[in-house]
Structure 1
Amino acid sequence: MSAFDQSGRRVEVRRVTVPAHRMTPLKNAWLSLYQPVTDNLKLDMRMNLKTRKVEVKTTKDTPDGGSLQKAADFVHAFILGFEVADAIALLRLDDLYIECFEIKDVKTLRGEHLSRCIGRLAGKSGKTKFTIENATKTRVVLADTRIHILGSFQNIRICRDAVCALILGSPPGKVYSKLRSVCSRLNSSY
Structure 2
Amino acid sequence: MEKPAAMEVEASPTTAAPKQPSVQFAQKPNFKPLKAHEISGGEIQFRKIPIPANRYSPLKKAWLEIYTPIYEEMKIDIRMNLKARRVELKTRPDTPDVGNLQKCADFVQAFALGFDIPDALSLIRMDELYVESFEIKDVKTLKGEHLSRAIGRLSGKGGKTKFAIENSTRTRIVIANTRIHMLGPFANIKVARDSLCSLIMGSPAAKVYSKLRAVTARLAERF
Report the TM-score, using the length of structure 1 for normalisation: 0.95
Equivalent of residue 31 in structure 1, options 58, 64, 67: 64
What is the CA–CA distance in structure 1 between the aligned matches of 2:113 and 2:54, rounded to whole Å?
Answer: 11
Any idea what the Cα deviations from partners look like across 1:102-145, whole Å, max 9, x if unmatched? 00000000000000000000000000000000000000000000
What is the CA–CA distance in structure 2 between the aligned matches of 1:79 and 1:30, rounded to whole Å?
Answer: 12
- Return the structure number with greater helix share: 1
Mapped pair 1:162 → 2:195: yes
- Paired position in structure 2 for 1:120: 153
Which residues of 2 match residues 124-139 of structure 1 at below 5 A?
124-139=157-172
Equivalent of residue 177 in structure 2, options 112, 127, 144: 144
Q: Report the alpha carbon displacement of residue 189 of structure 1 after superposing the two structures with TM.
A: 2.2
Structure 1: 4+ residue segments shifted above 4 A: none
Which residues of 2 match residues 1-190 of structure 1 at below 5 A?
9-190=42-223
Amino acid at match of 1:180: R
Any idea what the Cα deviations from partners look like across 1:138-170, whole Å, max 9, x if unmatched? 000000000000000000000000000000000
Larger Rg, first or second structure (1 or 2): 2
SS of structure 2 residue aligned to 1:45: strand
Alignment root-mean-square deviation, CA = 1.0
SS of structure 2 residue aligned to 1:64: coil
Q: How many residues align?
A: 184
- Paired position in structure 1 for 2:19: none
Q: Report the alpha carbon displacement of residue 185 of structure 1 after superposing the two structures with TM.
A: 1.1
What is the CA–CA distance in structure 2 between the aligned matches of 1:72 and 1:183, rounded to whole Å?
Answer: 31
- Paired position in structure 1 for 2:14: none
Q: Report the alpha carbon displacement of residue 9 of structure 1 after superposing the two structures with TM.
A: 2.6
Q: Report the alpha carbon displacement of residue 65 of structure 1 after superposing the two structures with TM.
A: 1.1
Provide structure 1 residue ranges, at least 5 long, that are not aligned to the other structure.
none
- Return the structure number with greater strand share: 1
What is the CA–CA distance in structure 2 between the aligned matches of 1:53 and 1:187, rounded to whole Å?
Answer: 40
Any idea what the Cα deviations from partners look like across 1:40-60, whole Å, max 9, x if unmatched? 100110000001110011111
Provide structure 2 residue ranges, at least 5 long, that are not aligned to the other structure.
1-36
Any idea what the Cα deviations from partners look like across 1:77-101, whole Å, max 9, x if unmatched? 0000000000000001110000000
SS of structure 1 residue aligned to 2:45: strand
- The percent of aligned pairs where both chains have the same amino acid is 60
